[in-house]
């Protein structure tokens, strides 16, 4: 069984937000004083598992758990344990996680024991003061400890860094060298026009095409045929030991090869990160519809998956997504 959308793209990657809550307040993700959803609106772990089961039966091979911060969700390890058992008897091949890293020291061993072999850590600076500023109150030492604990448990780490104008654009080489020394891969990401935070998106945005051109003069990058299942384009250099990726949804989008859909913590299936259309599966499940009906709705959603996103950033553009990044986890 395969999920094929109307543009003949194979969709085999499901991103699942297990919570809208987070223990940080990163300035490009959410407002400082966020109004989080009532817990009754959030999918239960049983509902998440049921939705995942239906997607797996339809052909999904990779599931990434996101947030918010997924590790703040109560009993998240129980969900991962149940999903992990499905790899033996279904076509599910991988469960991964995107985290801010603050709780990795506590959970790394349990994650490894339950089949998590790769983790993406969102980290936009390695400067303690700047980290505290961008997260609004975070302690970077917790992240460093978490990364080291994960590596000690043989979990492969990739760092995701959002390049932000007048914040970390002059720290790029330092991040490359730091990750190279630790032999962990690094991906740079453009700011995306999700719901406004306390800082305008246009003042945060910097083109990754420009960033790549500057870096290429230093590192003389070679493009490689390597993929983690997501949209990053990866490069190597004789000057570093790791792979460097670039995700540029605005200046060089990847819509033609999009293989993923996203479920929000409230059960809304977003067929595209850069569109506001969705199908609400929470109400379907809570009205006790059958799994066959759920599968038909999933197929319907894939048939209306758009050709591409509508991301735009600019002073006179007021067409941002009507949700913060913590709703779908990027």
- CATH number for position 131: 3.20.20.70
Q: How confident is the model at residue 297 (pLDDT cuts 50, 70, 90)?
A: very high
How many structural domains does the chain have?
1
Structural domain includes residue 7: no
CA distance 17 to 65: 6
* Cα–Cα separations (whole angstroms), residue 176 to 171, 172, 173, 187, 249: 9, 6, 5, 9, 21
User: 24 exposed, middle or buried (CB, 10 Å; 0-12, 13-18, 19+)?
Assistant: buried
146-173 tens-digit pLDDT: 999 999 999 999 999 999 888 899 999 9
Lowest-confidence range among 16-20, 86-90, 196-200, 238-242?
Answer: 196-200
Residue 240: which of 198, 193, 184 has the closest Cα?
184
* Domain enclosing residue 73, as ranges: 13-324
Are 192 and 273 spatial neighbours (Cβ–Cβ below 8 Å)? yes
- Tell me the whole-structure pTM to 2 decimals: 0.90
212-235 tens-digit pLDDT: 999 999 999 999 999 888 889 999
CA distance 3 to 163: 33
Q: Report DSSP letters for 296-325, one per residue.
A: HHHHHHHHT--SS------TT-----SS-H
Strand partners, 247: 189
* Cα–Cα separations (whole angstroms), residue 196 to 98, 206, 325: 22, 16, 10
pLDDT at 311: 56
pLDDT at 72: 96
Strand partners, 98: 120
Non-local CB neighbours of 123 within 8 Å, separated by 6+ positions: 100, 101, 131, 143, 159, 160, 161
Structural domain includes residue 304: yes
Q: How confident is the model at residue 184 (pLDDT cuts 50, 70, 90)?
A: very high
Structural domain includes residue 186: yes
Non-local CB neighbours of 113 within 8 Å, separated by 6+ positions: none
Q: Which helix (H) or strand (E) holds 21?
A: none
Helix residue spans in 37-139 (DSSP H): 45-57, 76-85, 104-113, 128-135
101-122 tens-digit pLDDT: 999 999 999 999 999 999 999 9
Structural domain includes residue 300: yes
- Cβ count near 225 (within 10 Å): 5
Structural domain includes residue 6: no
Structural domain includes residue 290: yes
Whether pLDDT at 12 is above 50: yes
Structural domain includes residue 302: yes
């Amino acid at each position: 069984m395969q999920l094929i959308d109307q543009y003949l793209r194979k969709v085999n990657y499901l991103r699942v937000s297990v919570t809208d809550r987070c223990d940080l307040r990163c300035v490009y993700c959410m407002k400082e004083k966020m109004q989080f959803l009532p817990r009754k609106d959030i999918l239960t772990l049983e509902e998440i598992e049921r939705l995942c089961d239906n997607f797996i039966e339809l052909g999904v091979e990779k599931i990434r758990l996101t947030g918010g911060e997924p590790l703040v969700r109560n009993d998240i390890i129980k969900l991962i344990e149940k999903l992990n058992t499905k790899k033996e008897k279904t076509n599910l091949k991988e469960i991964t996680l995107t985290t801010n890293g603050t709780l990795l020291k506590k959970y790394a061993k349990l994650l490894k024991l339950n089949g998590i072999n790769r983790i993406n850590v969102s980290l936009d600076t390695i400067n303690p003061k700047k980290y505290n500023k961008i997260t609004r109150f975070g302690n970077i030492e917790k992240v460093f400890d978490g990364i080291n604990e994960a590596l000690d448990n043989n979990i492969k780490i990739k760092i995701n860094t959002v390049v932000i104008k007048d914040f970390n654009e002059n720290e790029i080489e330092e991040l490359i060298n730091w990750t190279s020394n630790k032999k962990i891969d690094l991906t740079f990401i453009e700011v995306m026009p999700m719901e406004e935070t306390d800082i305008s998106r246009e003042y945060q945005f910097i083109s990754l095409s420009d960033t790549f051109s500057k870096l290429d003069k230093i590192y003389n990058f070679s493009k490689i045929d390597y993929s983690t299942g997501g949209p990053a384009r990866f490069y190597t250099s004789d000057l570093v030991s790791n792979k460097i990726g670039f995700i540029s949804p605005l200046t060089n989008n990847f819509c033609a090869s999009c293989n993923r859909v996203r479920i929000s913590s409230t059960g809304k299936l977003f067929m595209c990160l850069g569109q506001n259309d969705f199908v609400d599966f929470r109400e379907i499940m809570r009205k006790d519809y059958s799994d066959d009906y759920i599968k038909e709705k999933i197929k319907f959603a894939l048939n209306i998956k758009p050709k591409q996103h509508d991301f735009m950033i600019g002073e006179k553009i007021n067409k941002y997504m009507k949700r913060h990044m913590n709703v779908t986890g990027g």
